[in-house]
Each structure stands twice: as structure tokens, then as C-alpha cells.
Chains A and B, each alone.
Chain A
């Protein structure tokens, strides 16, 4: 009877932790955080050929964007890996496939996780020089990491520059959705929601937990005014409907350049039917039952821009 019991085949699982395609190898594994928690990580690296000592840590965004921006992050990581650079993406504790609880998450705990990723990249992937990548709130974390480590390169895609503004918009989105809700039971003002969050320690924002500790912490971080000492290279990509660079990004670019860093700003037009960071599979024709990934061309373009910029 005992012989019939299911038994885990660990070697089989180990044999499938990585794969190679188009000269790029992706390996999924776990990093161990300071407290022993396991963090999901993905190393994207060249399969063979010349390998750069410039490696990148990729920081994800927040809420639904952790899911919806992954295809874009993956595209950038693969493009850089094809150019010889190892890229390590990590799910911070309380996010994605990692262990941990979002309720215990703070700006500092998330920075610790990113520092852990940098250490791993240096020790295990031969990265002597470090760069950071991030989209939306991930861009803010990449900026903070880059500033702290004096990183050589930063790739910021439609980054949140102000943590306070990001969380405000995050909560506002819920207000808009709830306003349109036919049952109309939740019409709380921003102030009422913040009061509830502070009382309960957490706000349910359309099914995503925003802990008050994280809310307060994000309110204190702003890379639009604190990157003057950054002397590395920044690739700033705006992905939006507007054809010109937003004022806040112009100011950010000027700040980097005034401090001795370099900043290349590029504008990419969002495809119609979707916004960067929201669901990318949308019906583009009359048939609402057929949905295509409208962000796919943009992902390819972003990868090309990032690889070209790093190689320049």
C-alpha cells in the first residue's frame, strides 16, 4: 500500500527549473531573505558567448501591475540578456510567488529584498557593476536602489517619481470604480478611507492590501527631488497616450543632468484600447470574445530601446 502513495520527484522538478530559448536562459529559483523567507527569483542570462559584468536587478510594481507589467519586464530582461547582461527579477516578500505577508511590508523591507537580489547577482552571476530596472512603482524602487548603490545604469519605464502620488492614485482608482458600482454601498471619501486604513492597519483597495505602514513609507519617498547626487546613466521611457514628455519627467531629466548624471528620455505611445499597467489582452475588433495582447509590439520596442541604450 505504501508503495502506491504519491511521492515527489525532486530531481524531475529540478530538471525543469530553467529553459533556454533564442540564446537566453531563464532560471527560476528562490532567494532566502534575512528572516529565512523564500523569495521567488528569475535569472535571465545569456546562454553562452560574451558576458558583461554589468548586471541588472529588476524591481516589480505594486497591486495588479505586478501581474500586468510582467510581460514588459520579461521583454526588457530578455533583450538585455541577449546583449550579454544577466538580469535578476525578484518577487519581494509578500508579493507574487514569494513567501511573506503584504501586511508586514514596508519601503525598508522591500529595499532589503532588492539589496539581497543585488548581493546574489554580485556573488553568483559575476556582476561587478549594477544597474536597476523598474516600471511604474518598480521604477521608484529601482531609482531608490540606484541612488543607494550608486548604480551605473537605471532603466525607468513610466516610473512613479513620487510614492505619495502613486498611492494616492492607487486609492483614487478604487473611488472611481466604486462610484460606478451599481450597488453604491462604498462611497467613502479619500479621508474616510485613510482613517479606516489607519484604524485597521490595512486598506482593501479593489482586492489589494495597502498596509498603512507602506502607505506612510511611500509618502516619504520621492525620486523627483532626491536624485541630484546620482551620477550614472538613466534611460527614462514614458509610455503614455501623450506624444510629448510630461513636465515631471522633463524636470527629472534636468535634475539628473544637473547632478552630473546622464539621462536619455524617450516617449513611446501607448496602444489604443489599453493603458500601460492595466490588462493588456483586449478585444480590438467587433468580436468581444477574441482578445489580443495589444502591448506586445510595445514590449518588443522597449526591449530594443533598452538593449541599444545599454550597448551604446
Chain B
């Protein structure tokens, strides 16, 4: 095995409010480019990501002169605290803390976020509030939420309530045949309509006003129509210049989603490095 590398890794605990996020800063041994990369997972995986994808990405980035940080969210892996992962409450504070720490530790002034799954929500939310972001690169991520409903109870519920108030109505509701009919109707009821998260659309729009946004999806990724829908909606809100900063990159023939093959993992690692190189205006060196 032996050690023949051009980078050094520093295990750290990043302050994030009351919590400490366990992470690893990977820095080139030589000159440092003015860009740091924050690598984010979906939450169920710890900082290395599946089969050490983020370890590979970090070391390849460092080979190109780019430092990075990978870390566990609070409540995950070696970090302190507890967490409930809620799609509409991304862990922007953790992303921000990691980015600030990386800047302080390495002296870089610009940040690129690279994220998978729920990490993409966190990356976009953190990036939206910063003015030092060069790019956000997101692999397939959940962006759909149930459409907000009226606060008024649906007609069927109001009807049931009023029926319950009368003796006859209450008896009617207790009738087995009525019960069966109601169950049948309930089963046939369609699932709530899903729409693109307003929060995510807003965050993406804010980032696109100042930085490059790349969605890297497989041609067969289930969520592909959803991200296309997002971009379509953003056309109504963004200028052509801002829209041009949003890119949807399709990888032919696969579904980049669970990273369950080496081939998928190679694509993700390669794209993570390429996104940093693009932010630096350079090509990824051949390996």
C-alpha cells in the first residue's frame, strides 16, 4: 500500500452552534487554488459517502490544488446532537458552518458545494445566503412536496361534522353499508398533488443570480421530469443571464441515484472534480 500522495488530511470538529460536526479537511500539499469544495451527503450516509466517494473526490480535488471538507451533519455519524431530516428544513446551518470553517482553515475566498440527495437541498439553502459561492452541483435530489391545501376543511369533512350533530345523521354514519361506501371512496381518493418546493425554487433562483448551478442526472433518473419542471418554473422568475447559469447535465443510459455500481460512483466523483475545475476555469487533469 505505501504512502505516495500529494495531499494531507486533517480530522476536525467544526463548531456549528452548540454542536460539533465531525469532518475531514483534505488539503493539497502544494499551492492552494482559491476555491474550497464542501462535499455533502444525503444524511443517512456519513461523511465518506457510499464506498468512500467523497474521500476519492476530496483526494482528486486536492491533486488539482483544491481543498475540501466532508463532514457528518449534526446528529449523524461522529457529530454531536440529534436531528430529524425534514425535506423542507435543510441543514443550511451545518453547510454554512462547514464552508466558513474551510475558508478559515485554508484561506480560500470562494466556495463550491457538491451534494447528493437531501444534501442538495442543504447545499442550495446554504449557498442562497452566501455571496462567496462559485457553484452548486447537485446530483438527483428530492424537490417535490405536497401542494399546500386550503386551511378550510374539505367538503366531505364538513359534511360529516354536520351529519354527526343530528341523531339521524350519526346513525347514518354508523350504518355498515355507508361505512363500506365511505371506505371505498377514501381508497379511490387520489394522492395529494405534488409540486416543486417553493423554498427550493426560491433558493435555486437566488443562487443562479450569482453562481453556476449544475443538476447532474441520469437519463433514467426518476426525478428528471421534476427538475425539468423546476427549470421551467424558474424561467418565469429569472433573467436570461441568470437562467444560463443553470445547467441540467444528463448522463446517458443510467439512473444516478443510489450509487450502487462503481460506474455510477466514477461519474459522481468525476463530476465533482470537474465542477471545481470549471469554477476555476480549468480542465480536469487526466488521471
Contacts and interface: CB of A to CB of B under 8 A. Distances in A.
A8 B65 CA distance: 12
A28 B1 contact: no
A267 B145 CA distance: 40
B22 interface: yes
A67 B45 contact: yes
A281 B107 CA distance: 35
Contact of A8 (B32, B34, B262): B32
A116 interface: no
A207 interface: yes
Interface stretch (B47-55, B179-187, B236-244): B47-55
A289 B88 contact: yes
Contacts of B47: 97
B108 interface: yes
A152 interface: no
Interface stretch (B73-81, B157-165, B203-211, B227-235): B73-81
Chain A: interface secondary structure? Answer: mixed
A280 B42 CA distance: 12
B188 interface: no
Chain B: interface secondary structure? Answer: loop
Contact of A6 (B34, B86, B142): B34
B5 interface: yes
Given A30-B11, A289-B88, A99 B48 contact: no
A64 B2 contact: no
A6 B109 CA distance: 8
Contact of B5 (A68, A99, A292): A99
Contacts of B193: none
Contacts of A26: 13, 22, 78
A71 B262 contact: no
A13 interface: yes
Interface stretch (A32-40, A140-148, A224-232, A255-263): A32-40
Given A7-B32, A36-B2, A101-B1, A207 B264 contact: yes
A279 interface: yes
Contacts, number: 153
Contacts of A8: 27, 32, 67, 105-107
A289 B87 contact: yes
Nearest to A292: B84
A76 B280 CA distance: 44
Interface residues of A, number: 57
Contacts of A94: 1
A120 to B, nearest CB: 15
Contacts of B109: 6
A5 interface: yes
A93 B2 CA distance: 10
A92 B186 CA distance: 54
A119 interface: no
Contacts of A19: 13, 20, 80
Contact of B13 (A18, A33, A67, A206): A18
A10 B13 CA distance: 14
Nearest to B220: A183
A33 B1 contact: yes
A13 B44 contact: no
B156 interface: no
A289 B142 CA distance: 9
B265 interface: yes
A63 to B, nearest CB: 8
Nearest to A73: B78
Interface string B2-32: 1101000111111100001010110100011
Contacts of A29: 11
B262 A204 contact: yes
B12 A16 contact: yes
Given A6-B108, A7-B107, A104-B1, A13 B33 contact: no
B150 interface: no
A290 interface: yes
Contacts of B145: 289
Interface string A59-100: 000001011101100100000000000000000011111011
A293 interface: yes
B173 interface: no
Nearest to A13: B10
B12 A17 contact: yes
Contacts of A10: 10
Nearest to B5: A99
B105 A12 contact: yes
Nearest to B10: A13
B84 A290 contact: yes
Contact of A291 (B12, B43, B264): B43
Most chain B beta-carbon contacts within 10 A, residue among A6, A104, A292: A6
A289 B86 contact: yes
A12 B50 contact: no
Contacts of B149: none
Given A19-B13, A96-B55, 9 more contacts: A6-B107, A6-B108, A16-B15, A26-B78, A94-B1, A97-B24, A207-B265, A292-B84, A293-B83
7 contacts: A6-B109, A13-B10, A18-B13, A97-B11, A99-B5, A204-B262, A207-B258
**Closest CB pairs A-B (n = 10):** A28-B11, A6-B107, A289-B87, A6-B32, A279-B44, A13-B10, A36-B3, A19-B13, A291-B85, A16-B12
Interface of B: 1-3, 5, 9-15, 20, 22, 24-25, 27, 31-34, 43-48, 50-52, 55, 67, 75-78, 80, 82-88, 101, 104-109, 142, 145, 258-262, 264-265
